[in-house]
Amino acid sequence: GIQASMPQLGEPKKDYDAVRKAIENLLDAEDYDDGSFGPVLVRLAWHASGTYDAASGTGGSNGATMRWAPESEHAANAGLAVARKLLEPVKAAYPWISYADLWTLAGAVAIEAMGGPTIPWRPGRADKASGNDCPPDNRLPDAAQGAGHVRDVFGRMGFDDREMVALVGAHTLGRCHTDRSGYSGPWTNAPTTFSNLYFQELLNNKWRKKRWDGPLQYEDKSGQLMMLPADMALVWDKKFKKYVDLYAKDEEAFFKDFAAAFGKLMELGVPFPAAA
């Protein structure tokens, strides 16, 4: 009714800077992975958003439907309960923020705190109240596949080649976990710093098939660093490689393109009010 839409007396001011600070305070964790929850928060923001289908307008970060099964149980989302649980105290302290805004803001704050570019972010997402609105499974990319699949999946969201390469550059952060995806290891030696190192490794390191009983992945000579088949596709596909070359030598170009593409990703399908 009318009453519900009127601002309530004493309603808390929506202090997004306070939420940002609360998220920042959660990032460092001596006993988790490489010492930061930043990478898994970036993955949460990405998987919440990357279900978008431009043709039907379904999926995307609006709704925070990953709180519900079946989306929470989609294989691609294995391990993301860690990130969702981590943010619960922030939601409890600032209950006026939607989960959908909180998860995407956490991705932006994490990138910035790890030394990355400023990510364009604005509030406006609403939460959906049940799993009935979950997107279908298999909208997120399959790491075992190549350039055609990467183009199909990100093309479905509305991205071009340049944006796709920039986005996958987020693999400069974090690592693969055998108990989540089946893959193992980090892409770079600085997995909690946002940089263009991923592109440098892709181009300049020597990659060979890892001999193990897990899924096909690539490793460098040290055996410490890894690439997924879908990562290798970025150097094996000539049109993608052009941008790998660019970002490997021009970190500023990468930061600029990544910020724009990641900001766009997190807004796909979000019904922001039309500009006045």
Contacting residues toward ligand HEM, per CB under 6 A: 39-40, 42-43, 46, 79, 141, 143, 150, 167-168, 170-171, 173-177, 180-181, 183, 228, 230, 262
Residue closer to ligand HEM, measured from CB, 99 or 262 = 262
**Among residues 167 and 225, whose Cβ is nearest to ligand HEM?**
167
- Taking the complex as a whole, the smallest distance from the CB of residue 69 to ligand HEM amounts, in Å, to 20
- Tell the smallest beta-carbon distance from residue 253 to ligand HEM (Å): 16
Closest to ligand HEM by CB, 180 or 239? 180
Tell me the C-alpha to C-alpha distance, in Å, between residue 145 and each of 43, 46, 70, 106, 142: 19, 19, 24, 29, 6
162 DSSP assignment? H
Q: What's the count of helices (H) and strands (E) in the chain, helices before strands?
A: 12, 5
∠ Cα 107 112 114 (to 5°) = 95
Per DSSP, 206 falls in state: -
> Is residue 187 among the annotated active site residues?
yes
Burial class (CB in 10 A: 0-12, 13-18, 19+), 129: exposed
Residue nearest ligand HEM, CB atom distance: 174
Smallest distance, ligand HEM to C-beta of residue 33, A:
6
We find the least distance from the C-beta atom of residue 180 to ligand HEM, in angstroms, to be 4
Within 10 A of 20 (CB to CB), how many other CB atoms are there? 18
Question: Which is the catalytic residue, given 46, 103, 187, 207?
Answer: 187
Q: Which of 46, 47, 121, 207 is catalytic?
A: 47
Phi, psi of 86 (to 5 degrees): -55, -35
Short-list 147, 159, 148, CA closest to 46: 159
* Residues linked to residue 36 through DSSP beta bridges, in sequence order: 28
Contact 23, 106 (CB under 8 A): yes
Q: Which is nearer to ligand HEM, 12 or 214 (CB)?
A: 214
Catalytic annotation present for 103:
no
Tell how strand 218-219 and strand 208-209 pair up: antiparallel
Rank residues 64 and 170 by Cβ distance to ligand HEM and give the closer one: 170
Q: Read off the tokens for 245.
A: 């070359």
Contacts of 181 (CB under 8 A, 6+ apart): 78, 79, 143
Give me the residue label for tokens 């990659």.
207
Cβ proximity to ligand HEM: between 12 and 50 the closer is 50
Residues designated catalytic: 47, 187
